[in-house]
Each structure stands twice: as structure tokens, then as C-alpha cells.
Chains A and B, each alone.
Chain A
Amino acid sequence: SAVISQKPSRDICQRGTSLTIQCQVDSQVTMMFWYRQQPGQSLTLIATANQGSEATYESGFVIDKFPISRPNLTFSTLTVSNMSPEDSSIYLCSVEEGGVNTEAFFGQGTRLTVV
């Protein structure tokens, strides 16, 4: 099973600033996913990040607000830009190990509070 490390685990940021979240996987994976979990809500997929190509964003999410990098098969970053209090959420990185035992693994999440 994949082990995912996310940094930072939590942060408190001023509105108008940006935060970059890092996701490191202990094995090479093709697809990485970024989710947002707003307070008291479920997980919502922000985008899918494949190495060597631009991220694919879900409806309601745009690259200018959530730029993503995927420089290699074990690492990705998500930036939350020009933050507002509405961006206060938990952001989770996820990877999929496909095949017969297809399963999604999640990082511990980054708890972001914007003040």
C-alpha cells in the first residue's frame, strides 16, 4: 500500500496570501488527486494530476486559484492562491493503485484556516 506524506499538516494564513501544500508518495504512481473537505462536509475532488501533463480540474475549480505541479511520479504540490476565509478546509492528497485491488490511498490532510 502507498504511504503518503503531506506538508504542512496545518496552517493559519492571512487572507490574500497563498499556501503551497506538498504531497510525497513512497512509490511511483501515475495519477494523483487533490480533494477539499470543507468544515462539516464531504470530500470534493479539485483536480487530477498526471505527471508530464497539465492537471485536469473539476467543475468549480480553476487553475488560477489552485495551481498544481506534478514534476515526477512521486511528488505533487497544490497551491491555494489569494486565500479568503471560504478556503478554510482540509486539503487531501490521494493516489490510486489500480489493477485488481484498485484502491485509493489518502494523505493525512492539511488543515488550512484563513483569517
Chain B
Amino acid sequence: AQSVTQLDSQVPVFEEAPVELRCNYSSSVSVYLFWYVQYPNQGLQLLLKYLSGSTLVKGINGFEAEFNKSQTSFHLRKPSVHISDTAEYFCAVGFGGGSEKLVFGKGTKLTVNP
């Protein structure tokens, strides 16, 4: 079965510290990978996506992610976080055909403290 696992439900960090949010998936077919951010009381906004090509993907707000096919992972990183990065982050996987029928992870709540 196709599934997406976000290993950490909550990640507290201090401002200007680096952060990594982990995402693993299980699939026997080609996948498309996405990270979305949800700020409090708002909809989802795309941070970055991997469709093909370079496995290191850069997104908005200084975030980047690396697709590792052998480890079936797509971890999200930022070298220095800001308080404004406090939000819920969702990893999503499209199993073939683009982003239709996305399967979402349970989300990681990132809290950046001063």
C-alpha cells in the first residue's frame, strides 16, 4: 500500500537554528513529492516539489529538500529558521500522473522559539 510517514509530529527549535523535517514514503511506482506549509487558520501553500531531474530541490522561504530514492525519503531542511516559520508542514506524494490523488503525511508542527 502507498503511504507517507512524517516521523516527527512536533519539532521545537530556537530561532536561527537549522531544522530538518523528515518524510518517508512507500511505493513501488514512480512518485512526485511535495512539501506544503499551513500557517494557523490558513490554507495550504506549496513550499517545493520534486517531479524529476535534480534530487535537490529549492523552494520558497529558504527551504530545500532532497529526494533519496534508495531511502524513499524527501526530508525538508532550512539552515536558519525564523519565528515566522512556525507552522504545520505536510509532506505529500503523488503516485503517478502528477499531483492528482495526493497522499499526505500526518504533518509536523514546527515551533520556532525566540
Q: Identify the A interface with B (CB < 8 A).
A: 4, 31, 33, 41-45, 48, 92, 96, 98, 100, 102-109
Question: In the complex where A92-B44, A103-B49, A109-B43 touch, is A42 in contact with B99 (Cβ < 8 A)?
Answer: no
A43/B90 in contact, CB under 8 A: yes
Q: Which single residue of chain B is at the shortest CB-CB distance from A100? A: B51
**B residues at A contact (CB < 8 Å):** 32, 34, 36, 42-46, 49, 51, 90, 92, 94, 98-107
Among B46, B49, B105, the residue within 8 A (CB) of A42 is: B105
Contacts of A105 in B (CB 8 A): 46
With both chains docked as a complex, state the minimum distance between the C-beta of A100 and any C-beta of chain B, in angstroms: 8
Interface centre among A31, A42, A45, A105 (most CB of B within 10 A): A42
Provide the bound-state CA to CA distance between A79 and B103, in Å: 22
Assess whether B104 is in contact with A102, with CB atoms less than 8 Å apart: no
- Closest Cβ–Cβ distance, residue A32 to chain B (whole Å): 11
Q: Give bound CA distance, A4 to B43, whole Å.
A: 10
